[in-house]
């Protein structure tokens, strides 16, 4: 027996992106490319729906293949930066990638291991191209076996580090179990590539009620050192456990000697950011040291046993990726770090993923969201129909194969409510991605 659910989505009204950078007077009024709309109301189940649609993703595989094979339209004096984003599962890596891109390109859910393989997103602004390497969360073989994960889930983050010019290490500060130390997998990854510049990004700071805890978190995760200089942390508020979200924080470093300019191109902006900044709208808080930083030393397995943090971060950023808070600050910093070099993609490319991969990711995101425990990790997706309709709409029929009859009942839901909701929400996201009418049908079957 089969159960069907269908969804029909209409194209959105195209609106120009709105910008939210006016809160920071030291920032330009625009950053680049596709922006993001102001954060939606807190009760919106998917705040990433606020991402602005600049240009559609191609929904025909042949067109996407030709675009990827197209020679890059090199500008004068091109610059490029490859950015690997690593961190523990569910730290918000794909959410941050989507915000930087200004488009929902990568799957996002509250469950771990939503991202199943390495994927690239491309930001092109003027003569600069940023290539974002979105990777699965760093995990170990035991956890990979428990969640029925492919071997690529273990190797992709390491492969991304090999190609990266800069690495963002994302930490979820709302998780009180893990926020004061980097995972052993992250430390191993950093220690294997010690000369790749790394930046610490503290995510979900809007959820952290006691902002003074960020002092402790920063000290632990950096081992008290940023850009080769010891951090001098000064609190501008009383150490009161009831401190509100608007309590200011200052993280300072020794003043540079006369005649010396801080190495970082953002030094002046960071100094302004540190003065009286409120952490509910967090900004760059660490960074420019005095003089040249010493190169990272080699760390062996014995050294990593006692390490909680990484003392070679060049910068620290604090943000809330889900609602876009301070993502523009990070994006501007990344654009400034780009080095002279040829572009790797045509300026029209947004991602290296095929249309079918984007579709699979979107549907899997909804399956992860609505099925309990380990059940969604056993669902296999098979696309039966993918074609363009007579009126230009995209017709998709996909089978969701589950190992047990009980899982089938869970996926269908009482009265077909669960599968219908998955089809409706996935269809809406597909429409937002491809900017065309989408007719999506899902059917649930037990694996034969």
User: Which of 273, 308, 340 corresponds to the end of one domain?
Assistant: 340
- What pLDDT score does 117 carry? 56
Alpha helices (runs of H) in 43-197, residue ranges in sequence order: 61-69, 93-101, 141-146, 152-163, 184-192
Q: Which of 2-11, 14-23, 79-88, 125-134 has the lowest mean pLDDT?
A: 14-23
Q: What is the pLDDT of residues 86-110, one digit of tens each?
A: 988 888 988 999 999 988 888 887 7
User: Which of 319, 340, 361 corresponds to the end of one domain?
Assistant: 340
- 377 and 279 in a common domain: no
| Residue 147 pLDDT greater than 50, yes or no | no
> What is the pLDDT averaged over residues 259-286?
39
- 334 and 362 in a common domain: no
Kindly state whether residue 40 falls inside one of the protein's structural domains: no
Tell me if 395 sits within 8 A of 439, measured CB to CB: yes
By residue count, the chain amounts to 448
- 262 and 114 in a common domain: yes
- 239 and 382 in a common domain: no
pTM: 0.74
- 420 and 294 in a common domain: no
User: Which of 340, 369, 385 corresponds to the end of one domain?
Assistant: 340
Residue 283 sits in a domain of what CATH number? 3.40.50.300
Kindly state whether residue 66 falls inside one of the protein's structural domains: no
Among candidates 347, 387, 385, which has minimal Cα distance to 59? 387
Cα–Cα distance between 333 and 312 in angstroms, integer?
18
Tell me if 217 sits within 8 A of 318, measured CB to CB: no
- 358 and 336 in a common domain: no
Cα–Cα distance between 361 and 108 in angstroms, integer?
9
| Count of structural domains within the chain | 2
- 365 and 335 in a common domain: no
- What pLDDT score does 83 carry? 95
Backbone angles phi, psi at 125, to 5 degrees: -135, 115
Beta-strand relationship, 79-87 and 119-125: unpaired
Cα–Cα distance between 435 and 104 in angstroms, integer?
12
Residue 364 sits in a domain of what CATH number? 3.30.300.20
Backbone angles phi, psi at 3, to 5 degrees: -125, 130
Kindly state whether residue 256 falls inside one of the protein's structural domains: yes
Cα–Cα distance between 408 and 403 in angstroms, integer?
8
- 394 and 369 in a common domain: yes
- What pLDDT score does 236 carry? 47
- 363 and 263 in a common domain: no
| Residue 223 pLDDT greater than 80, yes or no | yes
Cα–Cα distance between 359 and 383 in angstroms, integer?
9
More confident residue, 265 or 57: 57
Q: What is the pLDDT of residues 35-81, one digit of tens each?
A: 333 344 344 445 555 454 456 788 778 888 888 898 999 999 999 99
Please, which residues have CB within 8 angstroms of residue 305's CB and are 6 or more apart in sequence? none
Cα–Cα distance between 308 and 310 in angstroms, integer?
7
Q: Residue 325, SS3?
A: strand
More confident residue, 54 or 333: 333
Q: In what order do the strands lie in the sheet with 394-402?
A: 3-9, 438-446, 394-402, 380-388
> pLDDT category, 168, cuts 50, 70, 90?
very high
Kindly state whether residue 317 falls inside one of the protein's structural domains: yes
End-to-end CA distance of the chain: 12
- 378 and 293 in a common domain: no
- 376 and 336 in a common domain: no
C-alpha torsion sign, points 355, 361, 364, 370:
negative
Q: What is the pLDDT of residues 402-446, one digit of tens each?
A: 999 999 999 999 999 999 999 999 999 999 888 899 999 999 999
DSSP annotation of 19: -
Q: Residue 370, SS3?
A: helix
- 357 and 335 in a common domain: no
Cα–Cα distance between 22 and 277 in angstroms, integer?
14
Kindly state whether residue 416 falls inside one of the protein's structural domains: yes
Residue range(s) defining the domain that contains residue 368: 3-10+353-446
Kindly state whether residue 423 falls inside one of the protein's structural domains: yes
Q: What is the pLDDT of residues 348-401, one digit of tens each?
A: 999 988 999 999 999 999 999 999 888 888 999 999 999 999 888 999 999 999
Kindly state whether residue 32 falls inside one of the protein's structural domains: no
Kindly state whether residue 64 falls inside one of the protein's structural domains: no
């Amino acid at each position: 027996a089969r159960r069907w659910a269908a969804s029909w989505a209409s194209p959105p009204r195209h609106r120009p992106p709105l910008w939210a950078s006016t809160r920071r007077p030291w920032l330009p009024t625009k950053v680049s490319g596709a922006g993001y709309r102001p954060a939606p109301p807190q009760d919106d189940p998917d705040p990433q729906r606020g991402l602005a649609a600049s240009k559609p993703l191609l929904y025909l595989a042949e067109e996407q293949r030709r675009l990827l094979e197209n020679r890059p339209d090199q500008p004068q004096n091109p610059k490029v930066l490859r950015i690997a984003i690593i961190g523990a599962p569910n730290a918000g890596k794909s959410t941050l990638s989507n915000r930087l891109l200004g488009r929902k390109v990568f799957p996002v859910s509250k469950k771990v291991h939503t991202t199943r393989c390495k994927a690239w997103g491309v930001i092109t602004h003027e003569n600069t191209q940023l290539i974002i390497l979105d990777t699965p969360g760093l995990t170990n073989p035991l956890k990979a076996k428990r969640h029925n994960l492919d071997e690529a889930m273990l190797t992709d983050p390491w492969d991304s580090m090999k190609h990266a010019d800069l690495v963002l290490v994302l930490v979820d500060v709302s998780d009180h179990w893990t926020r004061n130390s980097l995972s052993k997998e992250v430390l191993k990854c950093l220690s294997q590539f010690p000369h790749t510049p790394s930046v610490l990004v503290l995510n979900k700071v809007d959820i952290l009620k006691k902002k003074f805890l960020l002092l402790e978190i920063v000290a632990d995760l950096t081992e008290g050192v940023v850009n080769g200089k010891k951090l001098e942390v000064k609190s501008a508020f009383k150490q009161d456990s009831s401190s509100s979200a608007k309590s200011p924080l200052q993280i300072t470093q020794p003043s540079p000697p006369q005649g010396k300019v801080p190495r970082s191109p953002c030094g002046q902006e960071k100094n302004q950011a540190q003065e009286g900044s409120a952490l509910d709208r967090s900004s760059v808080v660490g960074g420019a040291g005095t003089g040249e930083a010493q190169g990272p030393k080699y760390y062996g397995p014995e050294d990593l046993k006692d390490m909680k943090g990484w003392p070679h971060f060049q910068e620290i950023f604090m943000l809330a990726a889900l609602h876009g808070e301070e993502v523009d600050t990070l994006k501007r910093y990344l654009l400034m770090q780009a080095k002279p070099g040829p572009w790797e993609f045509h300026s029209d490319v947004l991602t290296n993923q095929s249309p079918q991969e984007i579709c699979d990711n979107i549907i899997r995101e909804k399956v992860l969201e609505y099925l309990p425990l380990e059940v969604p990790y056993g669902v296999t997706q098979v696309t039966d129909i993918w074609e363009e309709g007579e009126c230009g709409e995209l017709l998709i029929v996909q089978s969701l194969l589950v190992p047990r009859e009980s899982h089938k009942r869970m996926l269908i839901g009482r009265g077909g409510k669960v599968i219908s909701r998955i089809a409706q929400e996935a269809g809406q996201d597909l429409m937002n991605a491809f900017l065309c009418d989408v007719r999506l049908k899902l059917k649930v079957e037990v694996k034969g």
